[in-house]
Homo-oligomer: A and B are copies of this chain.
Amino acid sequence: MKKTAIDQLGFLIHDTGRLLRRHFEKRGQEYGLSSAQWRLLVRVVREQNPTQARLAELMEIEPISVSRLIDRMEQGGWVRRCAHETDRRVNRVVPTDKSLSAYSAIKAVAADVYEEAMAGVDEDMRAALISALTLMVGNLSSDETATTPPNVEQQAAS
């Protein structure tokens, strides 16, 4: 039945994520950017010099994780911490020239990895995949409180 497949959903998503990360890092390692660093850089470029707190919010990770990611990225010459104009508590995170010039190349690598991963997955299935994942992120983000909304068929242990 499908039930057995659902049991493996967590494993599947975990594995897919791990494999994507692994491939991206292998392909992107000539640039010296890890996948976490790449995710952060995308936000920095898109948001135009966000603060660390803003990055934590966008990436849904803790501020301390951002802080340490940026430690390493600053060391690697990818971003700089710049003082905020008015608020002396705040750092703006600014991409370096190195980041800006590598950006499109690395973006192409990412797109390439995605296409490699999606070989043999037709358009309909891609659309369904993305819709399903988007729904799931919504379900899991929103109801930090609720437990079991509308039509759940929860299965006990099998």
Contact = CB atoms under 8 A, between A and B. Distances in A.
Interface string A119-141: 11101111111111111110111
A21 B102 CA distance: 32
A48 to B, nearest CB: 18
Interface residues of A, number: 72
Interface stretch (A49-57, A73-81, A91-99, A103-111): A103-111
27 contacts: A2-B127, A6-B111, A6-B114, A6-B126, A7-B111, A7-B114, A9-B130, A10-B35, A10-B114, A11-B39, A14-B20, A14-B21, A17-B17, A19-B141, A111-B157, A112-B148, A115-B155, A116-B147, A117-B139, A119-B151, A119-B152, A120-B152, A121-B132, A121-B136, A125-B132, A128-B128, A129-B133
